[in-house]
Structure 1
Amino acid sequence: MEVVSNLPPHVLALDDDPAIRELIADYLAENELRVTTVATGRELAEVMARDTIDVVILDLRLPGEDGMTIARRLREESAIPILMLTGRIDEADRVMGLELGADDYLTKPFSPRELLARIRALLRRAKAQATVADAIAKVRAYRFGSWELNVGLRRLKSSDGQSVELTNGEFSLLTAFLSAPQRVLTRDQLLELSRLHNAEVYDRSIDVQILRLRRKIESDPAHPQYIRTERGAGYLFDAPVDALR
């Protein structure tokens, strides 16, 4: 029997500005979220060690240990949603934070209503990812065309017994396609599905990794029969797929 928790989601906010911590704590608490605020990376680690956290709000500009280092460590340890706080002119910080695995960002000063909306969106996305991850975890292998991908062994073999080596990123992208065949997937969707396998896949590298995948599974990579480009929309895996559970 599935047990449904009545506890509201728990948000952990790290910012060295007491006024911002108070604003976040008061507004989110008024909107039925549990909130813990901290001022340092050490305090954040202590809370993470004792409590279950659903979303982390992380200021990237911190004295001492910077937010980039903390974001990198959080992403290495878990898939917890991370919402960055940055200054308006810190575009390089935003780009780096997203590449390190942060899920969204807000620039200071920010609207509390927008903060709440973004947190709720991250919570919905995390719940949907957990559902997809549970379904994918039950799949032993995928079969398409003359290929079989053993998920547990991360091994791709053709019908004639040929094994093809895949990088972590290629494996995760191929699994993302096979879990949603004959559906157009945007780059954002491919990124989210790829993160289920803790792969280092970034938006700017998706096209390159798809090109490499085509060279490995397509008989004619210049005219792909499996991974098709849908211009202005994304990519589509255009073949029937059998999932073995």
Structure 2
Amino acid sequence: MEGNLLIIEDDPEISEMIANYLEKEGYQSTVVHDGEEALRQFESKRFDLVLLDLMLPKLNGLEVLRRIRAQSQVPILILSAKDGEADKALGLRIGADDYIAKPFSPIELAARVEASIRRATQYSNTDHENEPESQVLSVGELIIDPDNFKVLKRNKEIKLTAKEFQILKLFVQHPTRVYTKAMLYRLVWNEEYYHDDNVINVHMRRLREKIEDDPSNPRYICTLWGIGYRLGEQ
């Protein structure tokens, strides 16, 4: 698979290992070692995916993530130490698509990179249950435009990440269906669910914060405790 990657990692040995392995897999890589240079490179070139370490000099990884996400929906994969659970959760809330814990297997990293780019590049054709993409959908005060990947609430656009959009579209397309976390993981992440509740919980919380007037009392996506989620507005 081809793609242009931005690798943001302050450890030269790790960044060189990542770049060399992924280049053998067909990717082109730009490697930077601090947050300020990362933003300069991102603003000067087009990238298909960002690999982001959180512990960076000059500008920390979470701030880099926040600034990139403010201007782009490019897939972002966090590289995180195993003891950085709080930072990983915060990164997902800010807008990261996935994370991989250090130390990691290059084979696993390449697989995650490929999956993330594939989901992004095929996003306009993503339809897991063969529903037409061209129909504009609406629920309550939300209008969902699948062709243009836009969500409006009271005629004001809401910026969603690719996964947030897929989750919302899935519920609105199938308003009577209940989705377990395992079902959501298979349909949105295209991977088997290994009881990693953190990824689902963070994406669901972030989506609710964007579309709900009161995220603690959701109107659009409701929780069925012990079962899963369903569309609240019918």
Give the deviation of 1:43 after TM superposition.
2.3
2:218 — aligned with what?
A: 212
Deviations 1:94-153 (A, max 9, x none): 1111111111112222211111111112112223434359x999544537xxx6855576
Normalised TM-score (structure 2)? 0.66
In the TM superposition, residue 66 of structure 1 has moved relative to its aligned partner by 0.3
C-alpha separation between the residues in 2 aligned to 1:127 and 1:61? Answer: 29
Counterpart selection for 1:118 from 112, 132, 137: 112
How far did 1:235 drift? 2.5
The alpha carbon displacement at 1:211 in A equals 4.0
The structure whose Rg is larger is 1
Which residue of the other structure, out of 37, 43, 48, is the alignment partner of 1:49? 43
The equivalent position to 2:10 in structure 1, one of 13, 16, 21, is: 16
Give the structure 2 partner of residue 105 of structure 1: 99
Runs of 4+ in 1 over 6 A off after TM superposition: none
Equivalent position of 2:20 in the other structure? 26
SS of match in other structure, 1:74: helix
Q: TM-score, normalised by structure 1?
A: 0.64
Which residue of structure 2 aligns with residue 203 of structure 1?
204
**TM alignment of 1:68-217, pairs within 5 A:** 68-132=62-126, 138-140=134-136, 142=138, 150=143, 154-155=153-154, 177-186=171-180, 189=184, 202-204=203-205, 206=208, 209=215, 211-213=217-219
Gap regions ≥5 residues in structure 2: 145-150, 190-201
Q: Given the superposition, is the C-alpha separation of residues 116 and 234 from structure 1 closer, same or farther in structure 2, using an over 3 Å criterion?
A: same
Taking the aligned partners of 1:213 and 1:34, their CA distance within structure 2 comes to 44
Aligned residues: 199
Give CA-to-partner distance per residue, 1:210-243, whole Å, 9 cap, x none: 84316xxxxxxxxxxxx77666553344999xxx
Are the counterparts in 1 of residues 137 and 173 from structure 2 also a CA contact under 8 Å? no
Amino acid at match of 2:218: R
Spell out, residue by residue over 1:150-180, the C-alpha distance to the aligned partner (whole angstroms, 9 max, x if none). Answer: 5576349xxxxxxxx9x989xx786652234
Q: Secondary structure at the match of 1:212?
A: coil
Q: Which consecutive residues of structure 1, in runs of 5 or more, have no partner in the other structure?
A: 1-6, 157-164, 194-200, 215-226, 241-245
